[in-house]
């Protein structure tokens, strides 16, 4: 495979993934509103298109046409930069998520991930740690106390939960003895899903994912009763939409990461015993990945509309005094599994 072909394949993969993510975000917002409506015994959006299915496009158009208001006291360059960083972080993490097995197309071996790099999992952790900048810059540059408080809360929260997230990933990496996402998925063949082998790590990662994406019950950075809108109080029009987009894109990336690390990725247990044709197997496996992703996204929305918000001190003591020791315990558990039971 020459460098030109490699570039073309990569660009095509990037375009496909980007389109898929944007479409998923649009309909995720729709489903968030629909599911919240069902939970609260309402009907939800039903005016635009059949069953309100065109609502996301109406929303995007509305946001695009709105006036972009920048406060005079704000720091203009950083105020404009913050939403861009948020979007960059949200989209570039998708590069390493494997959505299916390696396929052979036109004589080329194509892995169904944009980039198959050795440091995949560390790359995700590194890029997500940049997300703090978007929120801190947004909060500081707006020149408003609500924005600043939201930004500070958010960065403190993200830094705290990043630690338990990193330690939970440690257990997965130990078992797969590789940092490559594809190798991690392959290590979970059969029913050796990490969610079953190391349930404590699964729970700590899940909780940390909720905190990292600033979703309820941990949405302190934008707690409406106290902070108006949090770090994006002073944003309007497309810049606000960028933060909104980034939040939902982050939800998808967290779910995709949980699927890859703990739920066996694209694998369907024991599908090889059915002796299906290769094409059908691959299609089913990609379908399985999407199904697991959808279930987790539903879980995210379900939790948001069922559990009340934590208080800030509760959030911090949960992060440092419960989740962090639990993730350390998980590493010890995995080490025992490897040393004593030779998994």
Residue 37 CB, shortest distance to another protein, in Å, is 38
Query: Which of 133/312 has CB closer to another protein?
Result: 133
Q: Which residue has the tokens 């509103």?
A: 33
Q: Is 10 in the site for another protein (CB under 8 A)?
A: no
CA distance 142 to 149: 11
CA distance 325 to 343: 24
Cβ-contact 117, 96 below 8 angstroms: yes
Based on the shown chain and the rule CB under 8 A, indicate whether residue 115 belongs to the binding site for another protein: no
**Site for another protein contains 333 (CB under 8 A):** no
Q: DSSP secondary-structure letter at 308? A: P
Q: Which stretch binds another protein (CB under 8 A): 14-22, 40-48, 116-124, 292-300?
A: 116-124
Q: What residues have CB less than 8 Å from 302, skipping those under 6 apart?
A: 35, 39
126 near another protein, judged by CB under 8 A: yes
> Site for another protein (CB under 8 A): which residue of 23, 64, 119, 343?
119
Residue (of 173, 198, 153) closest to 319 by Cα position:
153
* CA–CA dist 176, 165 (Å, integer): 17
Q: Which of residues 206-225 bind another protein (CB under 8 A)?
A: none
Name which of 94 and 289 has its Cβ closer to another protein: 94
Q: How far is the CB of 178 from another protein (least distance, A)?
A: 7
Quick check: 136 binds another protein (CB under 8 A)?
yes
Segment 69 to 98, residues that bind another protein, using CB under 8 A: 75, 78
Residue with Cβ nearer another protein (163 or 290)? 163
Q: Residue 117 in contact with residue 210, Cβ under 8 Å? A: no
What the block records as the tokens of 11 is 């660009």
Per CB under 8 A, the segment of 154-162, 192-200, 205-213, 283-291 that binds another protein is 154-162
Residue 216 CA to residue 173 CA, distance in Å, equals 28
Q: What are phi and psi of 282, to 5 degrees?
A: -60, -45
Q: Which residues of this protein are in contact with another protein, per CB under 8 A?
A: 3, 75, 78, 117-119, 122-123, 125-127, 129-130, 132-133, 136, 140, 148, 152, 155, 159, 162, 178-179
């Amino acid at each position: 495979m020459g460098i030109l072909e490699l570039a073309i394949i990569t660009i095509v993969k990037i375009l496909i993934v980007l389109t898929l993510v944007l479409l998923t975000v649009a309909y995720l917002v729709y489903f968030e509103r629909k599911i919240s409506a069902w939970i609260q015994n309402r009907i939800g959006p039903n005016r635009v298109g059949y069953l309100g299915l065109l609502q996301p496009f109406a929303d995007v158009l509305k946001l695009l046409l709105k006036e972009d208001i920048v406060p005079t006291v704000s720091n203009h360059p950083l105020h404009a930069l913050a939403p861009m960083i948020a979007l960059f972080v949200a989209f570039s993490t998708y590069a390493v998520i494997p959505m299916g097995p390696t396929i052979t197309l036109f004589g080329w071996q194509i892995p169904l991930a944009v980039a198959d790099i050795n440091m995949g999992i560390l790359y995700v952790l590194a890029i997500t740690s940049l997300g703090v900048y978007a929120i801190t810059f947004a909060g500081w540059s707006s020149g408003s106390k609500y924005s600043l408080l939201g930004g500070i809360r958010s960065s403190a929260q993200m830094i705290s939960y990043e630690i338990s997230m990193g330690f939970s990933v440690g257990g997965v990496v130990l078992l797969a003895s590789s940092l490559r996402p594809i190798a991690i998925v392959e290590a979970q063949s059969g029913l050796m899903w990490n969610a079953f082998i190391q349930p404590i790590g699964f729970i700590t990662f899940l909780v940390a994912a909720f905190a990292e994406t600033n979703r309820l019950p941990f949405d302190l950075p934008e707690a409406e009763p106290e902070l108006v809108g949090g770090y994006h109080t002073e944003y309007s029009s497309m810049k606000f939409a960028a933060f909104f987009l980034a939040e939902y894109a982050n939800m998808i990336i967290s779910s995709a990461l949980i699927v890859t690390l703990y739920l066996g990725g694209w694998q369907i247990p024991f599908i090889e015993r059915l002796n299906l044709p290769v094409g059908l197997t691959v299609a089913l496996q990609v379908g399985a990945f999407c199904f697991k992703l959808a279930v987790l996204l539903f879980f995210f929305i379900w939790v948001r509309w069922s559990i009340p918000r934590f208080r800030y001190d509760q959030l911090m003591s949960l992060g440092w005094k419960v989740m962090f020791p639990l993730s350390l315990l998980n590493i010890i558990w995995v080490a025992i599994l490897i040393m004593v039971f030779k998994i």
